[in-house]
Amino acid sequence: MEHPKATPSHYKFKLMPEFFVNYHEIARQSPNSKVTTQPSLGLIDQPYSETTNTQPDAEPKKPWERFAAYIRELNTENPDRVTYKVLYLTRHGLGVHNVFEAKVGKEAWNSYWSHLDGDGTVSWVDAKLTEAGIQQAETLSQFWTDAVATENVPLPESLYTSPLARCLETARLVFSKPMGQFREQFQPVVKELLRERLTDHTCDKRSTRTWIEGHYPSYLIEPGFSEEDLLWKPDRWESVEKHVARKQKVLEEIFAQDSSSFISMTVHSYAISAILRACGYEEFRVREGSTIALLVRGERVGLS
């Protein structure tokens, strides 16, 4: 699979920040400048249109119920041209590569260790989760279960994941239990373009399609997904612009092909930054094992 060429976009994406907490401010106030999962997934309790607010004699609806009704209403207004989707972006749990980088320091990691397969004891090719990363994902899973049960936060109607092992496993640990508990199908779609920014670090090289199918048999792998990793190169860094273009393309595919309004993507730190930039928004960082929620407006462009 090649990098997407610089062709005119079929969608223009815009993040609508007024519905959720100020993630930039939260990042600034955080000791490590990274956003964590927020109470109620950061939704601001506010009135919407008259039809979505509680009627006088009706039982009061919870904020996420009213917000979901508002999204459905928005999507009936101009469905051929404009679509609104709530994106649940989950960063994978702590990986072995994250721990080793912290151990040796960023300079030593970038200049030497990241180019190796491991240190002789630990391998970080297609880096796996640490025990702490597994615990982060399990804690986040319980958060989701409680949020759905107590606040009526909508479960994802569709799930997508990066093909890298740390995301495949995080998606399973976070979403399989709540989806099963509320009798929803857990069947993530593996999408190549959701992977992290491509660097010469071996942690960003993915495993084979056969390995993914063997370890995650319930996952759906998108058409055209190659057996070997054709994107990663040991001597190439993907520019920020090309990475953003790659996330623009994957967003276009999802907006064009998936009618779901609530969509989960299990991805990476810089992947979240690129998605934000594709939506015309200043990036912020997200802590490992955390979910953020965003409302994105996608407008088809070039239609007659």
Report yes or no: 128 and 165 within 8 Å, Cβ to Cβ: yes
Pick from 202, 199, 193, 201: nearest CA to 226: 193
Residue 225: CB atoms within 10 Å: 15
Q: How far is CA 101 from CA 97, 105, 120, 142, in A?
A: 6, 5, 15, 29
Residue 62: CB atoms within 10 Å: 16
Distance separating alpha carbons of residues 293 and 296, to the nearest angstrom: 10
**Among 101, 169, 192, 196, the one annotated catalytic:** 196
Q: Where are the beta strands (DSSP E) in 78-177?
A: 82-91, 158-161
Secondary structure (DSSP) of 284-300: -EE-TT-EEEEEEEEEE
Secondary structure (DSSP) of 228-273: S-SS--TT----HHHHHHHHHHHHHHHHHH---SEEEEEE-HHHHH
Q: Respond yes or no: is residue 92 known to be catalytic.
A: yes
Q: Respond yes or no: is residue 24 known to be catalytic.
A: no
Sign of the alpha-carbon torsion through 217, 219, 224, 227: negative
**Among 92, 97, 201, 268, the one annotated catalytic:** 92
| Catalytic residue annotation | 92, 196
